[in-house]
């Protein structure tokens, strides 16, 4: 993907909020404009895990309410380059995989798929049941990229923030956003 400059970030009610600020920091460093949508459950989990509300994630240019179907991400004519759902709950995965646009986040994902733009779903659940797997396959068949936040250890992370930052760099790779950070270690580089 060339020149990703404007994305939609969806935050759902799955655990894994530590990844959100890490991704936003890397996107801000590359001057990628981010518009956000947090589900009601996403707002609650963000408050529980990080003690903040979405509006305190300073790198997000604009927040849209999940029931605002007049917001730009609801239309294919809005110029976004990609969408990331981080973390992506199994409920949101099911809605996206089945084209159910019950809120703006799900509608935005549907728009992203129909416009053939990259949609990254950082699905968060374990263990997985057959329905989860079928929904993942349906989403992948529709064009989504499933990227569960699975930490890697070959870069010898110092702490949880290091793990989160490394995964966020992988998301940036998938978006085509270059990450110029000497602290991000790549496999067999350096």
Give the Cα separation of 44 and 113 in Å (integer).
27
* pLDDT above 70 (res 183): no
For residue 188, give both structure tokens.
């067999």
Give me the chain's average pLDDT, please: 94
pLDDT for position 4: 85
Q: What is the pLDDT of residues 87-141, one digit of tens each?
A: 999 999 999 999 998 999 999 999 999 999 999 999 999 999 999 999 999 999 9
pLDDT for position 151: 87
The H-or-E segment that residue 162 falls in is helix 160-175
pTM above 0.85, yes or no: yes
pLDDT for position 188: 66
pLDDT for position 156: 86
> Pick from 90, 67, 88, 60: which is nearest to 149 by CA?
88
CB of 188 closer than 8 Å to CB of 155? no
Domains and CATH numbers, the chain: 6-125+143-175 (3.40.50.1950)
What is the mean predicted confidence (pLDDT) over 176-181? 84
pLDDT for position 180: 75
Kindly indicate the confidence band of residue 179, based on its pLDDT and cuts at 50, 70 and 90.
Answer: confident
């Amino acid at each position: 993907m060339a020149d990703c400059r404007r994305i939609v970030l969806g935050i759902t009610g799955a655990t894994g909020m530590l990844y959100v600020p890490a991704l936003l920091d890397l996107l801000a460093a590359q001057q990628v404009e981010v518009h956000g949508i947090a589900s009601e459950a996403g707002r609650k989990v963000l408050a529980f895990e990080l003690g903040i509300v979405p509006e305190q994630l300073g790198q997000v240019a604009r927040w849209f309410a999940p029931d605002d179907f007049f917001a730009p991400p609801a239309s294919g004519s809005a110029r976004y380059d990609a969408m990331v759902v981080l973390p992506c709950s199994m409920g949101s995965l099911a809605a996206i995989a089945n084209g159910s646009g019950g809120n703006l986040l799900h509608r935005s994902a549907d728009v992203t798929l129909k416009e053939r733009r990259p949609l990254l779903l950082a699905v968060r659940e374990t263990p997985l049941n057959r329905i989860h797997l079928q929904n993942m396959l349906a989403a992948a068949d529709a064009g989504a990229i499933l990227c569960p936040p699975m930490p890697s250890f070959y870069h010898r992370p110092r702490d949880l923030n290091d793990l989160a930052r490394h995964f966020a760099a992988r998301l940036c790779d998938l978006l085509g956003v270059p990450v110029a950070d000497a602290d991000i270690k790549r496999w067999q580089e350096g």
